[in-house]
Amino acid sequence: MLTEKTAIVTGGAVGIGRAVTERFLEEGATVVIADIDEDTGTTVADELGCQFERCDVREYEQVETVVETTVDEFGGLDIVVNNAGIGSETSVEEMELEEWKQVIETNLDGVMHGTKAAMPHLMESNGCIINFGSIYGLVGGKGAASYSAAKGGVVNFTQQVAVDYADQGVRVNSICPGFVETPMTKDLLEDERFYNYLEQKTPMDRHGQPEEIAPMAAFLASDDASFITGANIPVDGGWTAF
């Protein structure tokens, strides 16, 4: 259970972040969704009964403001889920430099911003960070140069920060999902050629649902995971074991 815990979930308006938010609320946490999509974020927060703060994770000052607002309003911060991310399936020779920059700034800089802004408060609460890596942070993906670079960075950053803060009582882990049905992957999963490839690569022969990722976040955030830090945990139907 996450009773009396306060959490920030970046990118919590839809997809995996929304499922994590719902699961945390079910387990008794107070949750602040921090998302760039104000319309969806406000609607979802009203529906679920939590708070919404508009925030672009690429901008450090905006992330810091969400952290400080949360601490002021709820008296502390226990859990940060650095989940906000964008997809990219562009190979390196086709890549516009601007696309590379956007993916790295959102998927990697955003994780650093959430970590840096929250760390002083997490050191006070013996809190934890859950980052979102990907199978593409652990193994190469097809034509996903910037995405894999960012997620590989998240995986190594997770280990580094875990090591640096283990003796300060802050645990840092990442979840590395396989393909999960969300607004990010909807079109890809409807592409028959891609789905054949996915089935070949996934021992379980299928994609996952956000509700199959959220329990891992709830576990990592809970006291049951008190001896787990620096772990990058695949939740992928067997993709990285194959």
| Nearest CB to ligand NAD, comparing residues 125 and 133 | 133
Q: How far is the CB of 8 from ligand NAD (least distance, A)?
A: 11
Please pick, among 60, 147, 165, 195, the residue that the annotation labels catalytic.
147
Question: What phi and psi values does residue 32 have, to the nearest 5 degrees?
Answer: -115, 120
CB of 57 to ligand NAD, least distance (A): 4
Name the site residues for ligand NAD (rule: CB under 6 A).
10-11, 13-17, 35-37, 55-58, 83-86, 106, 132, 134, 177, 179-180, 182-185
Neighbour count for residue 94 (Cβ, 10 Å): 10
Q: How far is the CB of 109 from ligand NAD (least distance, A)?
A: 9
Q: Kindly tell me which of 134 and 158 has the beta carbon lying closer to ligand NAD.
A: 134
Residues 76 and 6 sit within 8 Å (Cβ to Cβ): yes
Closest CB to ligand NAD among 127 and 141? 141
Give CA–CA dist 94/88, Å, rounded. Answer: 12
Which ranges of 51-109 does DSSP label H, i.e. alpha helix? Answer: 60-74, 97-104
Q: Are 130 and 174 in contact (CB under 8 A)?
A: yes
Beta carbons of 158 and 173 less than 8 angstroms apart = yes
Q: Is 60 a catalytic residue?
A: no
Which of the residues are catalytic? 147
